Amino acid sequence: MTDTSQTPLAGTDADADDLEHVTRQTSVYVYEVPVRLWHWINALAIVVLCITGYFIGSPPPTMIIAEATYQFVFGYIRFAHFAAGWILAIGFLGRMYWAIFGNHHARQLFYLPLLRRDWWHEVWFEIRWYLFLEKQPKKYVGHNPLAQLAMFCFITLGVSFMIITGFALYGEGLGHGSWADNMFGWVFTLVGGNSHVVHTYHHLGMWWILIFMIIHIYVAIREDIMSRQSIVSTMISGHRTFKDDNPD
């Protein structure tokens, strides 16, 4: 049941969409269906990309004793990697589209209010909260400022980097003059034409996103327990539920 009798507050600026504190509100609809679908499809694609990407960088030994014509293990790994890469890229374009036409929470992933001093104060407060230096959490309808900063750095910038370098490497495989080479071949020009450098950066980007995933899962579960507001279930139902009426 949703109580809409009161409007969420927003830090020191009641009109700021990205810093919404909640007081005495039971449930708020936050994430629309396209955002939730993208979140879980994107998560699955990243898991497949990380697993297959690791094996592409460190190929498994051949364990099947048979003719080479009957073995296509590495080919399946590459196919799964490329397919997940396409899903990631198309989904990211769809997410950008919905950031324009969805609600204001859908836009938090693509911008940071870096010039707002109160936003940085909120970031610092959240850092202190995660370090157990604050006794009570603040409540937000959308992402808290530190989460917004992390999502922008790891997902918006990180996924963009992986898509660009990934298609550059894909174009290298398709060959000179292919559509991918024509669109993303400039990536190799930036590193002096050294393909190994692009491979290395792409592989490091995988670890960058993998580290974020581990932290993201930990923080989501921690906030569900300690901040008394739903995090994990919100990305399933779309509603953020506040489990008490204590003001932030």
H-helix or E-strand spanning residue 195:
helix 195-226
Look over the chain and give the mean of its residue pLDDT values, rounded to a whole number. Answer: 85
Answer with the residue of higher pLDDT: 31 or 13. Answer: 31
Categorize the per-residue pLDDT at 114 as very low, low, confident or very high, splitting at 50, 70 and 90: very high
Contacting residues for 143 by C-beta, under 8 A, at least 6 apart: 18, 105, 108, 151
Q: Residue 48 has what pLDDT?
A: 97
**pLDDT winner (highest mean) among 25-29, 58-62, 140-144:** 140-144
Categorize the per-residue pLDDT at 63 as very low, low, confident or very high, splitting at 50, 70 and 90: low
Determine if the pTM surpasses 0.85.
Answer: no
Average pLDDT over residues 23-32: 77
Q: Residue 69 has what pLDDT?
A: 62
- Percent of the chain at pLDDT above 70? 84
Answer with the residue of higher pLDDT: 3 or 88. Answer: 88
Q: How far apart are CA 89 and CA 185, in angstroms?
A: 17
Q: How far apart are CA 166 and CA 87, in angstroms?
A: 13
The CATH code that applies to domain 33-241 is: 1.20.950.20
Among 93-97, 100-104, 225-229, the least confident range: 225-229
DSSP-H helix ranges across 31-156: 33-57, 73-101, 117-130, 145-151
Domain assignments of the chain as residue spans, ordered by start: 33-241
Whether the per-residue pLDDT at 17 is higher than 70: the answer is no
Helix (H, G, I), strand (E, B) or coil at 121: helix
